[in-house]
Structure 1
């Protein structure tokens, strides 16, 4: 009998092994799945962290690194330098690393980054040490940065923010910078941007500036001891302050010299010599001159400092505040439209005090005593080139050191200087008048909701009313009532609309409901620059051009950042602009024009323009233009005060004198003349009727040559003037009759004046031309009048405008 177990065991063992293999396979799959999941989580976490850390990383622009401390230069139109922008301090950037000198290069590398020429932009071991230090102190501390990283920080992160995100972004950009620039270029940018603190009160930027101020020599001429001395300061300019803690600087200098020796930059003998050099005795103690803001035309630089950051920000896609910072240290080249010869003449004129009154003494009461201060009369002047709208000269004041207010941009009341722009120009454009249309300068009362009496009774500057005259003469004399009457007829909203179209943005919406707009009485004001651009529109045939000062901006690499594009739009038709120009020429050429003093100085040239004064002579204006240039000049005080008037200083004449002195030589040299369109023709008209003048009109001295666009010229002959027989009875002129004694009869040429009605209060304001009109009353002694013409049967021939 056998002792073996009869059960079949083999099949069972195979099944167990299969199950075991299956279990092992499942375990491997589980482990693999967990591993892949872990990797995915870690990868996702890493991607998320990277996305967070690199979010909003700035784009690396090489222009940010070239001449990190270079001033931005401002040029005139001929390429000459007008001035420069730089932040506070002396900056003298080097253009080549060779100009820094080998000792200084070695000292900087030994002090800041001994592996600079061997790493890829970052030092991994240093980063690990820095990270461990940060974890240990639970804060972001300095350290671990290569020269490349520090250069990135200076260029891309000027706020010196200390965060993990900023450090990571700094490292990424450092790697990119190393890929795009050579080591030598990076080091040059770094040494140009280093800050060395204040020496003799002057903030120093860059090794060249530091070498000159501290040792009185160029960086390339420094000894190893001096180079190490300078390299010691930027690590902490406060702690290593040359003036406060020279012993701190000397200790670090010895440390740097030791590293230079260890790295093989200094042999034993050179090292010992450098350590023994009495470097503190070599420091200069006198200060050298520097100019962080250099310009003989500070008002131009002031305007550019406001305009350029906005243009740079728009072009570069950065904030305006960042653009303002970059303007001081990124080496921009800003090309302006300034004509240096005109600018120089303007500045020389301002420096001459003969055209200005003595300073005004202003007394104010303090708590215990009177305070006196001397105040200069100020000015604002702008010259615009008509063809392009480019500003070719400007003066924002008389002395930038005393007043930094740029009066070319300050808005003031313009007075009568607004009349051509908001009254006569629009009235011509809408066909309401021609230059020869007759207006009536008579007293009139208007509704004024702001007056206690609800009435406004405007007066002329001479406190008289003059009666019938042409629109040309009304503008030439700058009478108020014709302008107000025309604006009332047209609507002040139309006048305000043209003001806005002409760039007078200071005119407010409330001014569009005020008849005071006609004589410049507005809530908002205008600036000399705005007014120059508005009048330049007339010289350009009615085409408004936005004024510009900056033609082009290039970055430090020569890449164009901005180029000005001329912006224009039509405001007046060409014929209207030409007609208004003939009217404004009369302001200067006529002996009765308000700017005739200019004609006495400038002969046989074409100048058109307009004067303007405000209540109590607080502001005085003149805006004049030729075919090429328009100049706007304002004088006044920075606070409400009447301009001084003496026998020598006459307030309305000062802007005119400035125009003659500044632009006069150019005008006399060019001798340009306005050209009328072929559709405009001259006619001799009667100034009392606006019709074609007759010999009687000429005999009464009531004619003038006027210009009309085709289709608007008068076709009828004036019959207003007549030969009449008059006499005087009880002091009153009346028509002579058959009973008038012969010895009392006078033969006169008078005109039929339209009747006007004046109440008793206004009788004293009767217009002056009443004395030239045909009397309505007969000699009270009776009889038929001796003058009994029928004008319709009178035949006359119109006068020819030809001389």
Structure 2
């Protein structure tokens, strides 16, 4: 009996020992375990996404690509595929599968190494959210205890949802929805059974079973999962056969932007980082910009086509690489080191024939460059000179050359080259300052430098309208006569002489202010600033959004010598387009969190024309944020008399009708106005133009200032890009001429004097005057009365 009692108690002790040890371990580890209730409120790291105003994806920023979804959005076939691959007893166990742990322990005893961890999906959730990946026993014990707690607090659906949204599946994809987007460019609920099984096989080893790097190994894993699904009764025989017969079609779909606007994306990214710091990359913000995808596409095309057109006018600089003795295979290998830039694709010259050139592109696509599409390629000598015209393809290219081409139709291509000159184009909504489109250079991949916001260049004559506006607000009118005659300025201290010139080197004598603007006469601008006074003129010009520190305190400022960005110039021109109000450019319309909840929205100052629309917008945003009271629209400040703006707009429309921008008449619209600008030695070419609906500014030049060529002016280099954009942008849009405000009158003017015209005067025309500044009728002039009633004389003449 004593022996039996001893054996009984010994057996009992041995039986209880593991339980006591496990209980002791649990009591020891439990206080340090995290609270699993936090899983209910977990926020997964989700990237920053930038969208256009019409909800098209522009870019995505963040190390982890993730699209969290809920359990109801997961296809049943995927649930079954993952259970078959990872944990077929998931729905029955309580977080831990004893058989799986015993199997893992047996493998450890047999091999001396940890082969599998015996983890359930619940245990993997515990590890992924709370623990490290170190293969140590203490982590496994914590994993088991946490899994038991998770099962007590969360449903199976909640656990499964946490798992599939967290797991890494290769190629920056975290979670099954991201994997579906990365590998197939579709949502998880759009994929067939075979593709769902492939994704279900990735959690085990994303690198080993990567479908892009190892499609054969991936297929083996996928087919094993499909076989398990058949065995477990999840699918029938027919579905199994169809699925295993399906090839692996996965490829990298990247971030899959829906439009090209990298400069916009970078501006939005910088603003978000400024607001939220590093959280901008991980909190799943969705940023909706003011950019219109249609206008952005037009801007991209206009700038690139215009730069290439300029580049072709100055000749061909030759292939990017010349390899005369290379084989076709070697050439194709070399070609892989080049990438597309600004829509221009790299190509290898395979053969040169009498009337065309045979090329190969990456992925060995073949193509033809016809002689007509390359005969423009005269050798580049300098900005002002080219070599002789080529007479046959071999005068231009040789086999083995690496060149750039642009796609035409079918297998036809045109010879191209990456322009050395650069350009910038920005489009603003004149009534609130919204950035509608922006491109800061030929290619963001070529250069991240955003010339719209960062390049400070002299605007030349495109700056003159700000000075003319000051003149019109200080006693001048469009018919005022100013002398276009030589001026000489001597600096006794510096022993220097300044002899400003007009662009053509000529002088026209007394000229009306309107004509001086559309002919862009430099000497008239200098005289205007001289008469107004430098300080008074610059103080007035500040109201258009310029800083006084940016405006040189001398007469040369009248010719556009301040160094300003294209965005600043465009902002200034919005006042001409909107009737005299100051608006500020802005890019981000609204910010939403990962769940679509509105976090913040723009509250720009708007002109009266946009007040009603902005009121409705603010009301809608306030309702989404459940605000008790919506914001009232902020009224834009009036900075110029509406009558002055109308006069100036009329003068700037003459720049298009008969002045330096006369080419724009080809667009067939009467509501276009603007001003060209060209700096000394043609280093910078500008055109800023508008109608009441859009303002667009174009700059063309070199990053390191150099001449564009002696015949390259604002009207030849920048204006064509503006036209390429504005024509399609306003296609189908009715003409929108500004309304004449009260307080303006028209009078018949003698073009040679700017005064009331006597009957029968040749070329007499109607001019616009402020009521208090209108010239007296000619009958009063004959009587010797030419006053405004206050003793002042009008018009003011400078000689």
Aligned counterpart in structure 1 of residue 280 of structure 2, from 323, 327, 338: 323
In structure 1, how many angstroms separate the alpha carbons of the residues matched to 2:185 and 2:742?
71
User: Paired residue for 2:167?
Assistant: 194
Alpha-carbon shift at residue 795 of structure 1 (Å): 9.6
Answer whether contact 1:69 1:193 (CA < 8 A) is retained. no
Structure 1 segment 88-99 matched on structure 2, within 5 A? 96-98=73-75
Answer whether contact 1:416 1:520 (CA < 8 A) is retained. yes
Aligned counterpart in structure 1 of residue 509 of structure 2, from 461, 467, 480: 467
Answer whether contact 2:264 2:438 (CA < 8 A) is retained. no
Aligned counterpart in structure 1 of residue 745 of structure 2, from 675, 678, 681: 681
Alpha-carbon shift at residue 559 of structure 1 (Å): 0.7
In structure 2, how many angstroms separate the alpha carbons of the residues matched to 1:250 and 1:629?
55
Answer whether contact 2:65 2:178 (CA < 8 A) is retained. yes
Alpha-carbon shift at residue 460 of structure 1 (Å): 1.0
For residues 239-293 of structure 1, give each alpha carbon's deviation from its aligned partner in whole angstroms, at most 9, with x where no partner exists.
998999999999999xx99xxx9xxx998999xx9xxx9xxx9997776241324
User: Paired residue for 1:457?
Assistant: 499
Answer whether contact 1:442 1:467 (CA < 8 A) is retained. yes
Answer whether contact 1:616 1:642 (CA < 8 A) is retained. yes
Structure 1 segment 160-171 matched on structure 2, within 5 A? none
Q: Secondary structure at the match of 1:513?
A: coil
Compared with structure 1, are the counterparts of its residues 532 and 651 closer, same or farther at alpha carbon in structure 2 (3 Å cutoff)?
closer
Q: Secondary structure at the match of 2:169?
A: strand
2:706 equivalent to 1:641: yes
Alpha-carbon shift at residue 599 of structure 1 (Å): 2.8
User: Paired residue for 1:424?
Assistant: 468
Alpha-carbon shift at residue 481 of structure 1 (Å): 1.6
Q: Secondary structure at the match of 1:184?
A: helix
User: Paired residue for 1:72?
Assistant: 49
For residues 60-112 of structure 1, give each alpha carbon's deviation from its aligned partner in whole angstroms, at most 9, with x where no partner exists.
996944xx5577362443x5x2544255787676662335723444368749x
For residues 564-614 of structure 1, give each alpha carbon's deviation from its aligned partner in whole angstroms, at most 9, with x where no partner exists.
21223332122221221122122222x3x11122235425x2222111111
Answer whether contact 1:147 1:187 (CA < 8 A) is retained. no
Alpha-carbon shift at residue 628 of structure 1 (Å): 1.9
User: Paired residue for 1:306?
Assistant: 267
Alpha-carbon shift at residue 552 of structure 1 (Å): 2.5
For residues 201-236 of structure 1, give each alpha carbon's deviation from its aligned partner in whole angstroms, at most 9, with x where no partner exists.
xx4443366589899997986699x96x97786577
2:555 equivalent to 1:515: yes
Alpha-carbon shift at residue 670 of structure 1 (Å): 0.8
Answer whether contact 2:61 2:281 (CA < 8 A) is retained. no
Aligned counterpart in structure 2 of residue 379 of structure 1, from 423, 432, 439: 423
Q: Secondary structure at the match of 1:195?
A: coil
In structure 1, how many angstroms separate the alpha carbons of the residues matched to 2:41 and 2:672?
51
Answer whether contact 1:215 1:282 (CA < 8 A) is retained. no
Structure 1 segment 205-216 matched on structure 2, within 5 A? 205-207=174-176
For residues 336-394 of structure 1, give each alpha carbon's deviation from its aligned partner in whole angstroms, at most 9, with x where no partner exists.
34162x4444445456568433176679xxxxxx9999534433223323233323333
For residues 530-579 of structure 1, give each alpha carbon's deviation from its aligned partner in whole angstroms, at most 9, with x where no partner exists.
32222121121110211233322323322112322122333212222122
Compared with structure 1, are the counterparts of its residues 193 and 594 closer, same or farther at alpha carbon in structure 2 (3 Å cutoff)?
same
Compared with structure 1, are the counterparts of its residues 428 and 334 closer, same or farther at alpha carbon in structure 2 (3 Å cutoff)?
same
Answer whether contact 1:357 1:644 (CA < 8 A) is retained. no
For residues 734-779 of structure 1, give each alpha carbon's deviation from its aligned partner in whole angstroms, at most 9, with x where no partner exists.
xxxxxxxxxxxxxxxxxxxxxxxxxxxxxxxxxxxxxxxxxxxxxx
Q: Secondary structure at the match of 1:537?
A: helix
2:343 equivalent to 1:357: no
Compared with structure 1, are the counterparts of its residues 269 and 536 closer, same or farther at alpha carbon in structure 2 (3 Å cutoff)?
closer
Compared with structure 1, are the counterparts of its residues 563 and 92 closer, same or farther at alpha carbon in structure 2 (3 Å cutoff)?
closer
Runs of 5+ unmatched residues, structure 1: 1-46, 121-142, 161-167, 364-369, 721-790, 799-803
Answer whether contact 1:86 1:293 (CA < 8 A) is retained. no
Aligned counterpart in structure 1 of residue 642 of structure 2, from 574, 585, 591: 574
Answer whether contact 1:686 1:718 (CA < 8 A) is retained. no
Compared with structure 1, are the counterparts of its residues 118 and 441 closer, same or farther at alpha carbon in structure 2 (3 Å cutoff)?
farther
In structure 1, how many angstroms separate the alpha carbons of the residues matched to 2:771 and 2:192?
80
> RMSD of the TM alignment (CA)?
5.9
Q: Secondary structure at the match of 1:670?
A: coil
User: Paired residue for 2:257?
Assistant: 294
In structure 2, how many angstroms separate the alpha carbons of the residues matched to 1:645 and 1:209?
54
2:577 equivalent to 1:539: yes
User: Paired residue for 2:631?
Assistant: none
Compared with structure 1, are the counterparts of its residues 64 and 688 closer, same or farther at alpha carbon in structure 2 (3 Å cutoff)?
farther
Q: Secondary structure at the match of 2:604?
A: coil
User: Paired residue for 2:564?
Assistant: 525
Answer whether contact 2:682 2:713 (CA < 8 A) is retained. no
In structure 1, how many angstroms separate the alpha carbons of the residues matched to 2:640 and 2:93?
68
User: Paired residue for 2:288?
Assistant: 334
User: Paired residue for 2:486?
Assistant: 443
Q: Secondary structure at the match of 1:484?
A: helix
Answer whether contact 1:214 1:284 (CA < 8 A) is retained. no
For residues 413-454 of structure 1, give each alpha carbon's deviation from its aligned partner in whole angstroms, at most 9, with x where no partner exists.
211001112x1112333x2423232222222233569x9633
Aligned counterpart in structure 2 of residue 656 of structure 1, from 699, 704, 719: 719
User: Paired residue for 2:691?
Assistant: 626
Answer whether contact 1:627 1:673 (CA < 8 A) is retained. yes
In structure 2, how many angstroms separate the alpha carbons of the residues matched to 1:107 and 1:474?
82
Aligned counterpart in structure 2 of residue 101 of structure 1, from 60, 69, 78: 78
Which is higher, the Rg of structure 1 or of structure 2?
Answer: 1
Answer whether contact 1:623 1:633 (CA < 8 A) is retained. yes
2:586 equivalent to 1:548: yes
In structure 1, how many angstroms separate the alpha carbons of the residues matched to 2:702 and 2:40?
47
In structure 1, how many angstroms separate the alpha carbons of the residues matched to 2:778 and 2:697?
41
Q: Secondary structure at the match of 1:383?
A: strand
In structure 2, how many angstroms separate the alpha carbons of the residues matched to 1:674 and 1:298?
34
Compared with structure 1, are the counterparts of its residues 107 and 595 closer, same or farther at alpha carbon in structure 2 (3 Å cutoff)?
same
User: Paired residue for 1:735?
Assistant: none
Q: Secondary structure at the match of 1:610?
A: strand
User: Paired residue for 1:42?
Assistant: none
Answer whether contact 2:182 2:253 (CA < 8 A) is retained. no
In structure 1, how many angstroms separate the alpha carbons of the residues matched to 2:673 and 2:81?
65
Compared with structure 1, are the counterparts of its residues 63 and 361 closer, same or farther at alpha carbon in structure 2 (3 Å cutoff)?
farther
Q: Secondary structure at the match of 2:267?
A: helix
User: Paired residue for 2:661?
Assistant: 595
Answer whether contact 2:423 2:442 (CA < 8 A) is retained. yes
